[in-house]
Amino acid sequence: EVQLVESGGGLVQPGGSLRLSCAASGFTFSDHYMDWVRQAPGKGLEWVGRIRNKANNHTTQYAASVKGRFTISRDDSKNSLYLQMNSLKTEDTAVYYCARGVDTVPFDYWGQGILVTVSS
Amino acid sequence: SYELTQPPSVSVSPGQTARITCSGDALPKKYAYWYQQKSGQAPVLVIYDDSKRPSGIPERFSGSSSGTMATLTISGAQVEDEGDYYCYSTDSSGTDRVFGGGTKLTVL
């Protein structure tokens, strides 16, 4: 059974940093690209960024709203995905989901999400 | 930046057909994907590559795409189909990855 479990969320002040983790199980993690998607309270889904698999050199891609502030990384030996968030703004407040992708199909499995609140 | 446009809400009675549209300039060249999100839950993939249904998704869910519009059809909608539905696709270069604004489906 595919499982994705996010952790590391919480309350942080504007300008602060936070690192989210996503633990994967039930599939060959290294074969898949992975994404982060967020959802502000009461709002729609917003793609945050992607990290490709080893065959694609772990290249990354980011939404314009987070580029230069957020960094996605992965440790295939630990079946783990990370999202380092720096220079956080109040508008980054959201539930953050990690999601798996395969071939042409993005977000075929999702984690349960983790809440990040940026507030003073 | 690229945009996908969905109607904010769709309402049908149980057993009726619900159609949710998603319009975007690159849809003639790029696949559309559809995700269902029930209240308080993570999204679930219901249609991929315009019209393919993942295993475990009921046959009443179908998808199509023509020109700049993709459509999710729920034939014989049921109360348990209520929730928010999001389309997803990319711009023609594949670099701008976006979700539509979401459509709230009410079945009552």
Q: What is the pLDDT of residue A103?
A: 85
Token pair recorded at residue A62 = 């980011």
Q: Cα angle at A47 between A6 and B11, to 5 degrees? A: 100
What is the spatial distance between Cα A120 and Cα B91, in angstroms, rounded to a whole number? 37
Identify all chain A residues contacting B43, using CB atoms and an 8 Å cutoff. Answer: 37, 45, 97, 107, 110
Dist. CA B19–CA B108, nearest whole Å: 15
pLDDT of residue A92: 98
Question: What confidence score (pLDDT) does residue B48 get?
Answer: 97
**What does the pLDDT look like over A26-73, one tens digit per residue?**
999 999 999 999 999 999 999 999 999 999 999 999 999 999 999 999
Q: What is the predicted pLDDT for the residue at A52?
A: 96
Using the Cβ of A65 and the Cβ atoms of chain B, whether some distance falls under 8 Å is answered with no
| CB-CB under 8 Å, B95 with A106 | no
pLDDT tens by residue, B3-60: 999 999 999 999 999 999 999 999 999 999 999 999 999 999 999 999 999 999 999 9
Decide if B42 and A110 are in contact by the 8 Å CB cutoff: yes
- Chain A: give the shortest CA distance to residue B75, in Å: 23
**How confident is the prediction for chain A on average, in pLDDT?**
97
Closest in A44, A50, A110 to B101, CB measured:
A44
Q: Of the candidates B42, B88, B98, which has its C-beta nearest A97's C-beta? A: B42
- When pLDDT is averaged across residues B56-83 and rounded to a whole number, the result is 97
Q: In chain B, what is the straight-line distance between the N-terminal and C-terminal CA atoms, in Å?
A: 36
Please tell me the distance from the alpha carbon of residue A94 to that of residue A65, in angstroms, as a whole number. Answer: 13
Give residue A104's pLDDT band: very low, low, confident or very high (50, 70, 90).
confident
A contact test, residue of B97, B98, B99, B103 with most A CBs within 10 A = B97
Q: What share of chain B is helix, strand, coil (3-state, %, to 5)?
A: 5, 45, 50
pLDDT at residue A21, as a whole number = 98
